[in-house]
Amino acid sequence: APNPEDDQNGHGTAVTCNIFTVAPEATVLGFQHTDPPQDALESAAEAGVDVISCSWGWEYEQSFPILEASIRDIVSEGRIVLFAAGNGHHAWPGSMREVLSIGGVFSDAAGQLKASNYASGFVSSLYPGRQVPDISGLCGERPRAVYIMMPCPPGSSMDQELSSGIFPDGDETGPNDGWVGASGTSSATSQIAGVAALLLEQARSKSRTLTTDQVRNLLQATGVRVEKGQNAQGFPAVGHPNIAVGYGLVDAGAALAKI
The one-letter amino acid at 90: H
Write b or e for each residue in 239-256: b if 16 or more Cβ atoms lie within 10 A of its Cβ, otherwise e: eebbbbbbbbbbbbeebb
pLDDT at 75: 97
- What stretches in the chain show pLDDT beneath 50? none
Please state, as a whole number, how many other Cβ atoms lie within 10 Å of the Cβ of residue 3. 7
pLDDT at 164: 85
pLDDT at 238: 97
65 touches 85 (CB < 8 A): no
pLDDT at 228: 98
Alpha-helix residue ranges (DSSP H) falling in the chain: 11-22, 38-46, 65-76, 157-161, 185-205, 212-222, 252-257
pLDDT at 218: 98
Give the DSSP H or E segment for 180. strand 179-182
Please state, as a whole number, how many other Cβ atoms lie within 10 Å of the Cβ of residue 232. 24
Domain architecture of the chain: domains with CATH: 4-142+185-257 (3.40.50.200)
pLDDT at 191: 99
Average pLDDT, the chain: 96
Convert the pLDDT of each residue in 184-215 to its tens digit: 999 999 999 999 999 999 999 999 999 999 99
Sign of the torsion angle spanned by Cα atoms 104, 18, 23, 91: positive
